[in-house]
Chains A and B, each alone.
Chain A
Amino acid sequence: MASQVDHRYIERLFRAYYSGEVAEKIFHSAPEPEKREWAFLRLDGPMVRHVKLTSIDDLHSQLDPPPKGIYYSLSTYEYPDYPMPDKQRIKTDVAFDLDADHIRGAVLQEVSRCKSCGWIGEGDVCRECGGEVRKIQLVDDRTIKSISGEVSRLLDRLANYLDVDIDRLRIFFSGLRGYHIHLEEEPYRSLDSVERIELKDFLTLDGVEIHHAKEPDSAIIRILEECRDVLSEVEDVSVRQVLESLVNSKDNPRHFTSIRKRLGEDRVLRERVSRTVRELCGVNIDPVVVTDMSRLIRAPYSLHGKSSLIKTPLDMEALEALDPPVIALASPSNNMVKVHVDYVPHLIWGGREIPSIHDEDVILPEPLAIYLVNMGLAQGLRHV
């Protein structure tokens, strides 16, 4: 929890950011903004929901005092300011949330804080009193880089198997832990709940049992083929053999049928295979964001409350090159700030190497300092 002094510092920063021309960009970042429910997370805690904005002036009136987070509904409504059952939904964008927390192989830096004595450092137990520690995970450039492959995997699936025009997607750095991908085109905006659940299952491979594949070129077998590189990592030998055989059975229908039959008869093996396929080949999206039609999403160009980084649009080039680093692109300023850091491991933040710091007053990029304050790892924000 930030101290009063830090809280005021952050409020001033947010106020300065929202007092500029950015309100216009935020308002127009939502297709049909006047038909959306808008929501504002106040710096002192409560979320104000069911707000209808008909103009940029309406948005301005919500920006003082500055909010900690700005969100809009994925759905458009006849009456966006009415309570949920009365809103009368019109259409719902599809959004994909790829968050480092849920992605296999995401690189996160870890800090441990002792639950008893408050010691802070790295390790599974407290080095002062041997007590239990709480793990705090930190994002840096490496995190964002480590999950960009997952975005590519998602885009490939959408383009190759479905008919999504990748050029019409809007891809954003979410402001801290990953990416938001907005699909605002028909027919996807009109998908009903059954279709959204199927779309989610298709991407995550939830509930998919590979022995149901009808043909050697079924989508699930092609998806497996696309994960060929990671199949060798599968430690369970019998599962690996089944998966490799399936991938290699394309020109041998009889072989394909015999593997399917074997899986059909062996429930235990089948479940192990399904679990492995889901882990290796499923796209790690937050499933609820795809299926929940009353979902709110952070507004593009607004600040992330924890990091003060901007939810920033990325083109394919920026996504592939990651140079300059996304965190640098998303920083609202190049300001440096003084702060007392309790502990932080080595980080790479916006292309800048931050060495491990322990109980020290240091000068850091402003968003990083705010992030550490919000994570309880630093305090005492001061202008340089």
Chain B
Amino acid sequence: MVRDPIEEEFLWMARYPFHPLTRERVFGQLQGSIEDLEEFYSDAVSRLGRALAGEKPVLDENPHRSLVVFYTTVLLVKYLDNWLVERRFVEYEAERAYNYLRMADTDEILKVFKGMGIDLKIVDKRYGVYFRDYIQATRDLPPNWKMIYFPMERGYVYLNKKSLARIGKEVFKDEIIKTIESVESVPSSIGEAAKVLVEAYSDILERLRPQATSIQTRDVERFPPCMKYLYANIGKGLPHPGRFTIVTFLHKMGFTVDEIISLFARTPDFNERVTRYQVEHILGMRGGKIKYDVPSCRKIKSFGFCFPDEICVKHRIRHPLTYVKKVARIGEPGGS
């Protein structure tokens, strides 16, 4: 059967809608017409709903539609701005693409990995991943994924197809986050779709609501390294994601709004009224009354503030609050 190369390419993009090659070709155009996506809202709500419910990904959707539905779902996730919703979505989409990757032929595998900047080569039917890419891809996987447990030769870690697909899934997660982060604006009408989703999945969203953090600390030495960095640099004027991250974290650690504002007083262009508005907005006391959560490690990494220490690596920390809990339990760093 002769395949239409354009159609083939389209099918490929639908399988990996978050892939840099897809983003480059499609999403720039879609970002320019976000107000025309209303007909895809109900499919986006279903897609995100399946993710929230922890259902298995659907693979046989209409590929032509599915690509736009994915992008619309990304807009919905961006609008909701809740890291637990985002995590479910990221997991769902990564699993979906992973299912395709497991069935992929060698050419497709090479295109997927190389397009994501992964140094991959094939030697004797094994897939060699350059060790740096391997370490980055497996940083959230359990310790039995250390590179030393696989064959290694001159900088490459050799995997079978199944293991390669598994680490591909991890790289997909980073790419999905990047896709969400690349959204510059969301359509004004998407709030209605979000309402439908919140109503339909209220029980799941309630369960997903993070438990109140019982463990709090004001000892900066016990903060995760990302927060130590942000805390130390508050006075120098952090970029927006940094301010957002440290405000949500400090609040979880029991700092009051006034205490947080006083920390920002060290910035050269400090304006108390503006800072108070921003802090209260982040903490859900103003505006849309959305209370933002502390971002996950994956997201903090995408912001460029992730400087993991031994505890992060050893315990595969995925969220800054988990770090605080872990330190409280094991008594490091700073001792008891």
Contact = CB atoms under 8 A, between A and B. Distances in A.
A32 interface: no
B136 A194 contact: yes
B123 to A, nearest CB: 13
A201 B146 contact: yes
A160 interface: yes
A201 B154 CA distance: 17
B153 to A, nearest CB: 7
Contacts of A191: 132
A194 B135 contact: yes
Interface in B287-318: 307-310, 312-314
A1 interface: no
Contact of B313 (A197, A208, A212): A197
A205 B143 CA distance: 13
Nearest to A188: B132
Given A85-B232, A193-B308, A212-B144, A162 B151 contact: no
A161 B152 contact: yes
A219 B132 contact: no
B233 interface: yes
Nearest to A203: B148
Contacts of B147: 198, 202, 219
A218 B308 contact: no
A207 B314 contact: yes
A297 interface: no
A342 interface: no
A161 B146 CA distance: 14
B288 to A, nearest CB: 35
Contacts of A197: 308, 310, 313
Nearest to A187: B132
B131 A220 contact: no
Contacts of A161: 152-155
B154 A163 contact: yes
B308 A194 contact: yes
A354 to B, nearest CB: 43
B150 interface: yes
A64 interface: no
Contacts of B154: 159-163
B38 to A, nearest CB: 43
B131 A162 contact: yes
Q: How large is the interface on B (under 10, 10 to 19, 20 to 34, 35 or more residues)?
A: 20 to 34
A202 B148 contact: yes
Contact of B150 (A163, A194, A207, A214): A214
A193 B309 contact: yes
A159 B152 CA distance: 11
Contact of A85 (B139, B233, B314): B233
Interface in B154-195: 154-156, 163
Contacts of B308: 192-194, 197
Interface in A145-176: 159-163
Interface string A208-235: 1100111101111011000000000000
Contacts of B131: 162-163
Interface in A176-196: 187, 191-195
A312 interface: no
A214 B135 contact: no
A215 B163 CA distance: 12
B227 to A, nearest CB: 14
A69 B252 CA distance: 46
A291 interface: yes
Nearest to A287: B310
Contacts of A187: 132
Interface string A3-23: 000000000000000000000
A280 B135 CA distance: 25
A207 B151 CA distance: 18
A212 B147 CA distance: 10
Contacts of A85: 232-233
Nearest to A217: B151
Interface in B258-274: none
A194 B139 CA distance: 8
A194 B313 contact: yes
Contacts of B152: 161-162, 218-219
Contact of A218 (B151, B156, B307): B151
A198 B309 contact: no
Most chain B C-beta atoms within 10 Å of own C-beta, residue among A195, A208, A213, A222: A195
Contacts of B135: 194-195, 198
A66 B135 CA distance: 44
Contact of A219 (B139, B151, B163, B233): B151
Nearest to B154: A163
A185 B310 CA distance: 24
Most chain A C-beta atoms within 10 Å of own C-beta, residue among B132, B153, B308: B132
A218 B148 contact: yes
A213 B145 CA distance: 9
A342 B143 CA distance: 53
Given A161-B153, A212-B149, A207 B132 contact: no
Nearest to B225: A193
A231 to B, nearest CB: 18
Nearest to A215: B151
Most chain B C-beta atoms within 10 Å of own C-beta, residue among A160, A162, A209: A162
Contacts of B153: 160-161
A214 B150 CA distance: 6
Contacts of B146: 198, 201-202, 207-208, 212
Interface of A: 85, 159-163, 187, 191-195, 197-198, 201-202, 205, 207-209, 212-215, 217-220, 222-223, 291
29 contacts: A85-B232, A159-B154, A161-B155, A162-B131, A162-B152, A162-B155, A163-B131, A163-B154, A163-B155, A191-B132, A194-B313, A195-B135, A195-B136, A197-B310, A198-B135, A198-B146, A201-B146, A207-B143, A208-B146, A212-B149, A218-B148, A218-B150, A218-B152, A219-B148, A219-B149, A219-B150, A220-B148, A220-B149, A223-B148
Per CB-CB distance, the 8 closest pairs between chain A and chain B, nearest first, are A163-B155, A219-B152, A212-B144, A161-B152, A212-B149, A197-B313, A219-B148, A220-B148
Given A219-B150, A222-B151, 15 more contacts: A162-B152, A162-B154, A162-B155, A191-B132, A193-B309, A193-B313, A194-B308, A198-B135, A205-B148, A207-B314, A212-B143, A212-B149, A215-B150, A218-B149, A219-B147
